[in-house]
Amino acid sequence: MSAGPTSGAVASTTGAAPAGAVLLEVRDMTVAFGGVTAVNGLSFDGHQGEVLSVIGPNGAGKTSAFNCITGFYKPSAGRVLFDGADITGQRPARIAGRGVARTFQNLRLFGELTVLDNVRAGMHVRLRQNAFDAILHTPRYHRSEQEATDEAHRWLDFVGSTGDRGSAVRNLPYGEQRRVEIARALAREPKMLLLDEPAAGLNHGEKDQLLDLLRRISRLGTAVVLIEHDMGLVMEVSERIVVLNYGKEIADGTPHEIRTNPAVIEAYLGSEDAEARAEAEQVAQMSDEEIFGEREAQS
Ligand SMILES: Nc1ncnc2c1ncn2[C@@H]1O[C@H](COP(=O)(O)OP(=O)(O)OP(=O)(O)O)[C@@H](O)[C@H]1O
């Protein structure tokens, strides 16, 4: 078993592919629910070590696309390739085993389990234990359990979790629970991490911490794919942005290209959804210096 974030083990698990290599290939993906076509012929790539955001007004098909990539839905048509392998329609556990981890729009932690056990649950697939070890509690089993506990602590440190790690996770404030969910996903040492609206419900300070965390995850060599409505965060953290509207991709480019793309502005401003219009206004009011200056200063 690897030794967690402080050892640099995560970067090594991202495989031999060179930085920037294509990791995820979504090809002509369609997702239909009865009469509703949630995703309509979507194609995009995700690259190793990249922060990619998928944005679009409510109902644009972002979560449905995530669900297909991670095996929670089967696409009605099209293919998903990850790290060169066709994963279309595979079960979530199989896809996770290939190095794809995710978090959910609505938290999916084991509420009654401790914070520590929630994170340890994220790494059980990697533990070198067999039934023999587990039943007889062999020295190898104890060693492996201790290593898992140590590693869970390191991931919780990494995400900046400060809550009581021995208490039930449901007792933690919401922002803390979000961090624990990310720690659990990272404990799988994924090649790619998909985050569905990680800033939802966070206060200003927590969003700043999330921005910093996303950058640190990216520096580990893990590709990050983000669904997010907070346009300030999206513009600041993303290397590339894919924009969906009514299930179709309407743009794919850098934050600057997306911010000035007339089709994107129209999709947001033309939306009946007040939240989407507010997002568009938020971005329109930001200057390039405001969005990119801080990033350049830190890079
Ligand atoms: N399980 C489902 N059954 C039926 N319709 C669904 C299902 N999941 C999503 N849809 C529909 O598919 C469309 C796309 O939904 P989806 O949740 O993927 O959009 P989204 O871009 O993630 O939206 P949001 O930003 O609000 O989370 C919507 O019209 C939605 O009502």
Antiparallel, parallel or unpaired: β 51-55 and 240-245: parallel
Q: DSSP letters along 38-95, please?
A: EEEEEEEEEETT-EEEEE-STTSSHHHHHHHHTTSS--SEEEEEETTEE-TT--HHHH
Q: How far is the CA of 37 from the centre of ligand 1 (A)?
A: 9
- Over the chain (299 residues), the average pLDDT of each successive run of 10 is 45 44 96 93 94 93 96 95 96 94 88 91 64 66 81 96 92 93 94 96 94 95 95 94 94 91 81 73 64 46
For residue 26, the cross-strand partners are: 44, 80
CA 210 to ligand 1 centroid distance, Å:
25
Q: Burial, 92: exposed, middle or buried (Cβ in 10 Å; 0-12, 13-18, 19+)?
A: middle
Ligand 1 pocket by Cβ (under 6 Å): 33, 36, 38, 56, 58-64
Residue nearest to atom 31 of ligand 1 (CA): 59
Q: How far is the CA of 36 from the centre of ligand 1 (A)?
A: 9
Tell me which residue has its CA closest to atom 3 in ligand 1: 33
**250 CA → ligand 1 middle, Å:** 17
Pocket mutation for ligand 1, best pick of 26, 29, 33, 42 (most atoms within 8 Å of C-beta)? 33
From CA 288, how far away is CA 292, in angstroms rounded? Answer: 6
CA of 115 to the centre of ligand 1 (A): 30
* 3-state DSSP assignment of residue 237: helix
User: Are 248 and 41 a contacting pair, CB within 8 Å?
Assistant: yes
SS3 107: coil
List the residue whose alpha carbon is closest to atom 28 of ligand 1: 59
Atom of ligand 1 nearest to the CA of 65: 18
Closest by Cα among 46, 53, 78, 86 to 190: 46
C-alpha 57 to ligand 1 mean position (Å): 11
Whole-number pLDDT of residue 127: 56
The residue nearest atom 12 of ligand 1, judged by CA position, is: 38
- How far from the centroid of its chain's Cα atoms is residue 216's Cα? 13
Q: Which residue has the tokens 């969906």?
A: 244
Q: What is the pLDDT of residues 7-56, one digit of tens each?
A: 444 333 333 344 589 999 999 999 999 889 999 999 999 999 899 999 99
**What's this model's pTM, rounded to 2 decimal places?**
0.84
Q: Are 289 and 78 in contact (CB under 8 A)?
A: no
Question: Which structural domains are found in the chain, ordered by start?
Answer: 18-99+190-287 (3.40.50.300), 109-189 (no CATH)
For residue 20, what pLDDT is reported?
82
Distance of CA 42 to the CA centre of its chain: 19
Q: At 230, phi and psi to the nearest 5?
A: -80, 100
**pLDDT (tens digit, 9 = 90+) per residue, 247-278?**
999 999 999 899 888 888 888 766 677 777 77
Torsion over CA: 75, 76, 78, 84 (sign): positive
Q: What is the distance in A from the centroid of ligand 1 to the CA of 139? A: 49
Residue keyed to tokens 């934050």: 255
Whole-complex ipTM: 0.94
